[in-house]
Structure 1
Amino acid sequence: MINFDKSNKEGMVIPISDTVLLPGVISILWVTKLNEEELENLEREDITNIALTLKQNFTRKGVKEEDFYRIGVSFRVDEVEQTEKGYQLKIKVLDRVEIKTLKIGTDFIHAEYDICPDDTDLNEKSQAEMLGYLKKITRELGEKYRGSEQFMKVLDELKDLNSLMMYLSQFMPISNGEKYDLLETQSLKERSLKFIDYLIKLKETVELQLEMAERFSEKANKNYRESVLREQLKAIQAELNEGKPEGTKKDNDYGSKIEEAGMPPEIKNTALEE
């Protein structure tokens, strides 16, 4: 067992991926595998726990120092629950940290780090305005989906930017690297602007997809109507051609058959023109 020295800023690393963790937020962290020593260390108050994002080798087999990004977060574990898929940790994210050295051991990963707190470069008024704008964009996006009411209730309860970004990021199609960029960005203002950019791009993508789906539906409906019309015209022509002489009488019978067919006005007018 390695002795940790908090005064020298040493801690145990838990590798994570495809996850956003930001300072000051209470969250659930899912970990697929923990050994006995890691579990024991997580519950020790004299050990700093660090969540550090992998940039490659997501299977975590033979993990090396170069597989990790350098910015992570320290966190406190309030509850550990074992599930069928691994472990569910209820945590409080504490500080943003920068890794100085990593030692990959057989039982766990040891790190030396420095604390690099967020640069809170937005006053309370600016933070509230930014929070309101993010919620506004999200509501506009949520209105395009059925059953988003519960999602919006949770959204309305979030009162700070980091909590909002962490909550929304789990539903957004942003990459592991893009999620890490949010943590790497030390400025709260720049992080929020980066997240707004992610959110607006998602909104534009969804709107384009819905527009294309609507156009496809309109085209499919038009093609279907034309197909039905052609089949009706073929049936009428076949019926009129059975034992009928060519000429005006055929044209008159053709018109009367169309009148009797009970077609919608648009199809009826097209058929008469034909």
Structure 2
Amino acid sequence: MYDENEQLPQVAPDNGPVSLPADVLLVVPVRNLVMFPGAVTQVALTRDFSMRAAQEAVQHGHKLGIVLQKDPSVDTPEPDDLYRIGTTVTVVRYLKAPNGVHHLICQGEQRFRTLDYLSGLPFLAARFDLIPDQVTADPNVEARADLLKQKAIEAIELLPQVPPELAPALQNIESPGALADMVAGLIDIKPSEKQTILESLKVRDRLDRVIEFLTHRVEVLKLSREIGEQTQGKLDERQREYVLREQLKTIKKELGEDDTQSELEELRQAIADAKMPEEVEKQAQKELRRLEGMPDSSTEHSMVRTYLDWLVALPWAKSDAEAIDIAKAREILD
């Protein structure tokens, strides 16, 4: 819980507590976060009315709730811009970062539904109903909870850098509803999709939605790993080929059998003997110097070598004797 003796960072002069009915909840709208019961989350408060609501709740003991905006681009949301179902929270800590942004560290408690919003306040506040979680001894629910645990463990095994204590923590959750909420908070899906899970009040429906989303994510993770392994295999094969070629080149040098330099010398001599025009010969010598610095296994090495061989093969120094036959030309034209 928050330490009441700790000084809160102020957003404006404190004019004292606002008189609110007991059945009113202070609301902090968020752009891309869905708060689930049981989750501990840090919320960045970047708007003045959100800071005021959080401070009012902490200083004067009012209840606080987190609600998702329908459109994250709206800077000053009205009640119609917010989903009706959110989560009440307990404030663990309220702090101000060095960059000036206020942060609310809170733990989700229970689902609620807003009934109507109050007007004329410096923050959002609404009358609300708490939504209790259904507890039933339904074999269908238990079976879905077991399946969800299996899928969650499968997803954890596919993810890198997952805390080792996460899998045991999931296995130890006995409440199917709490299990669905915890997994839903961890899945990498859109906020609007998480909101549909939050609004699934029947535990069986909630489990079905989470299993559906998690199954899709598991398939995506499997494909990503498969593609990664295939790509790595190709890279390893190319790297192995390059290393072997370099080792072969070194061995030939040690044995005095290195024919790379002799081939380059022959090519250099062929360029000189081809009697190319000056500009063409300059370009050929430039490409030859590039060729000397390339590994034999590279694609560009093959292309440059083919280009130089083609230049050398052209009959630069040869010309056919011209035969001008006016009579023959007239015959052809006529």
Q: Fold-level match, TM-score > 0.5?
A: yes
Q: Report 1:232-243 matches (<5 A).
A: 239=259
SS of 1:143 mapped into structure 2: helix
Which of 115, 130, 145 is 2:144 aligned to? 130
SS of 1:185 mapped into structure 2: coil
Task: Spell out, residue by residue over 1:224-247, the C-alpha distance to the aligned partner (whole angstroms, 9 max, x if none).
Answer: 34445666778868539969xxxx
Structure 2 runs not aligned, ≥5 long: 1-16, 264-334
Structure 1 runs not aligned, ≥5 long: 244-274
2:300 aligned residue? none
- 1:40 has 2:56 as partner: yes
- The answer as to whether partners of 1:98 and 1:113 remain within 8 angstroms in 2 is yes
Which of 173, 184, 195 is 1:180 aligned to? 195
> More relative contact order in 1 or in 2 (CA 8 Å, sep 6+)?
1
- 1:5 has 2:21 as partner: yes
Which of 136, 139, 143 is 2:153 aligned to? 139
Task: Spell out, residue by residue over 1:155-198, the C-alpha distance to the aligned partner (whole angstroms, 9 max, x if none).
Answer: 23333234333433443221110111111122211111100111
TM-score by length of 2: 0.58
Q: Report 1:97-136 matches (<5 A).
A: 97-103=112-118, 105=120, 107-118=122-133, 120=135, 122-123=136-137, 125-136=139-150
Q: Report 1:127-206 matches (<5 A).
A: 127-145=141-159, 147-148=161-162, 149-206=164-221
Identical positions, percent: 20
CA deviation after TM superposition for structure 1 residue 206, in Å:
0.8
Give the aligned CA root-mean-square deviation in angstroms.
3.4
Cα distance change on mapping 1:99 and 1:224 into 2, 3 Å: same
- 1:80 has 2:96 as partner: no
- Separation in structure 2 between the aligned mates of residue 42 and residue 240 of structure 1, nearest angstrom: 78
SS of 1:32 mapped into structure 2: strand
Letter of the 1:183 partner, please give it: L
- The answer as to whether partners of 2:141 and 2:203 remain within 8 angstroms in 1 is no
Q: Report 1:195-274 matches (<5 A).
A: 195-228=210-243, 239=259
- Separation in structure 2 between the aligned mates of residue 230 and residue 78 of structure 1, nearest angstrom: 64
SS of 1:69 mapped into structure 2: coil
1:70 aligned residue? 84
- The answer as to whether partners of 1:21 and 1:93 remain within 8 angstroms in 2 is no
- Separation in structure 2 between the aligned mates of residue 227 and residue 83 of structure 1, nearest angstrom: 55
Task: Spell out, residue by residue over 1:69-120, the C-alpha distance to the aligned partner (whole angstroms, 9 max, x if none).
Answer: 1222334x364342525334444513x3332333465521021334444455
- Separation in structure 2 between the aligned mates of residue 109 and residue 138 of structure 1, nearest angstrom: 37
- Separation in structure 2 between the aligned mates of residue 139 and residue 208 of structure 1, nearest angstrom: 17
* Bigger strand fraction: 1
- The answer as to whether partners of 2:38 and 2:182 remain within 8 angstroms in 1 is no
Which structure: larger Rg? 2
1:271 aligned residue? none
